Amino acid sequence: MKECFVSLESRERGHTDIEFSDYLRYPGSIAEIRAGVESWLREAIITPFSYDGAIENGRFFAFGQGMVEMAEHGLVERIGQVGEHRAEADLIGIRKIEEWLNTAEDGDLIILLSPPGSEEEGFGKHGQRRLSFTQFGFVTKEEQKVSIRMVSLPEKEISIDTHIRRVEEIWSDEIKEWLDAVERSDRGLVSNPIFISGGNTKSKVESYVRLMGKLGWSQVENELEKGLEIQNDPESLARRNSLIGSITFQVARYIEEKDASRLNNIGLAARYVMAREATNKYRGWTQNQINKEYEEVERALWIKKLVSARNGIGVAAELLSHGVYSIVANNTIRRIQLELANERDVQELLLGSSCGGGGFGALWEGGGLSRMGSIGNYMDSLAGIAKGKNESTSSESSTMKCVKCPFCHETVDAIVTSEAIKCPSCKKEAKRSSG
């Protein structure tokens, strides 16, 4: 998930999927990963975000990624699926940007207009949560080194005509050829960035953002600095920064371990918790509370994924290997199901998965989450399965070999009964699910 030009390929109802496994292919630094995580949250709360890029050996890099290569990868991933034509248009646009940046001069400007994908191509429906974006790229050239500061301004969906009318009002003289040639469609706009050479770019950008309803560029800079804060929620900035940091360092860990499956799972958990954060479900929570919430959700989704891939004895073995965490996961998944069923604003952020498939949409609509609901039944028969029997009573117990206690963190042979799983070291126990 890189919040840059290439991420436009993956917009449907106005958000981006988080695909951390891409970092195995295109490694990024801690700062670059963090910027990507933060940009998703900023997009969800519809506030501006920025990032830096540069030309290195003729290639356009941002977030540690070669942008053309990322766009090519995005197109390959969507061949034959909803979003293929949009991804192709994004690739055309990013290639033009890279080519132009190789000859750009100090003070030049890029403007990229990005409406949501068309309803006909499957990108959600008008009236749903769909965002339009205007991205400005401010070019700096020092000692032949070209760098660029990208600032992305999201807003609720506007029409293609409004996009074009705005730039025509401000840059009519500079973009006559562009106005004559550009196709009036979402793919036409993203495949044809606007390039402005020198001139009074800052004052004209100032005029443009006023057309967006902002007081001026100073408001944009203020939103970039303070956009994560929530009024009357003093914990909000620290909480959101802590959540972003926790996700970032977990991503870095599994990049180091080259674990693509876990990275994709982190992406799901991150999207879920950040969607609830973006819709103020955690108002007033502390840093510790939000980090614990994220940890529980990520672990629950991971255990769900492992269990969903098993059958029969394999399910029992998988659950036994996670010990008491499996019971906690069961309760967490059931809570997620209830929240998703009732929180329409969260659904809007999650269910319109990128280009019509995968992500939370697949988990929810495809039944992936509901399959986890039977984990409680698996837990009820774990002791019997472990002993090769199909029965257990409150007086019977079995042993889980070599499991890590979530309370004292020691590796122990936990005692399993029909009512609880107990740690012989710290004597604490976790009640088992009843359903």
DSSP 200-246: SHHHHHHHHHHHTT-S-HHHHHHHHHHTT-BTTBTTHHHHHHHHHHH
Per the rule left: phi > 0, alpha: psi between -120 and 50, beta: everything else, 55 is: beta
Least confident of 226-235, 240-249, 291-300, 307-316: 307-316
pLDDT for the residue 358: 34
Which two three-digit tokens encode residue 173?
């003289």
Q: What is the rounded average pLDDT of the residues 88-117? A: 93
Q: Cα separation of 110 and 116, whole Å? A: 19
Mean pLDDT of the residues in the chain: 77
Q: What is the pLDDT of residues 248-279, one digit of tens each?
A: 999 999 998 999 889 988 988 998 899 899 99
pLDDT at 363 over 80: no
Token pair of 170 as six digits: 């401000």
pLDDT the model gives residue 388: 43
Going by C-beta distance under 8 Å and a sequence separation of 6 or more, which residues neighbour residue 401?
Answer: 413
Is residue 39 within 8 Å of residue 227, measured between CB atoms? Answer: no
Give, as one character, the DSSP assignment of residue 374.
G
Higher-confidence position of 85 and 314: 85
Q: What is the pLDDT of residue 43?
A: 85
Q: How confident is the model at residue 130 (pLDDT cuts 50, 70, 90)?
A: confident
- Lowest mean pLDDT: which of 49-63, 342-356, 372-386? 372-386
pLDDT at 195: 95
- pLDDT for 353 equals 36
Rounded CA-CA distance 252/258 in Å is 10
Interacting residues of 354 by C-beta distance below 8 A, sequence separation 6+: 10, 11, 12, 15, 16, 17, 83
> What SS3 state is found at 253?
helix
Reply yes or no on whether the pLDDT at 177 is more than 60: yes
Lowest-confidence pick of 58-67, 93-102, 239-248, 379-388: 379-388
Distance, in Å, from the CA atom of 149 to the CA atom of 312, rounded to the nearest integer, reads 54
Measure the CA angle with vertex 278, ends 368 and 250; round to 5°.
Answer: 65
Whether 247 has a pLDDT exceeding 80, the answer reads: yes
Q: What is the pLDDT of residues 8-61, one digit of tens each?
A: 333 333 334 567 877 777 677 788 888 888 888 888 888 999 988 999 999 998
**So what's the pLDDT on residue 371?**
43
Per-residue pLDDT at 336: 84
pTM across the whole model: 0.71
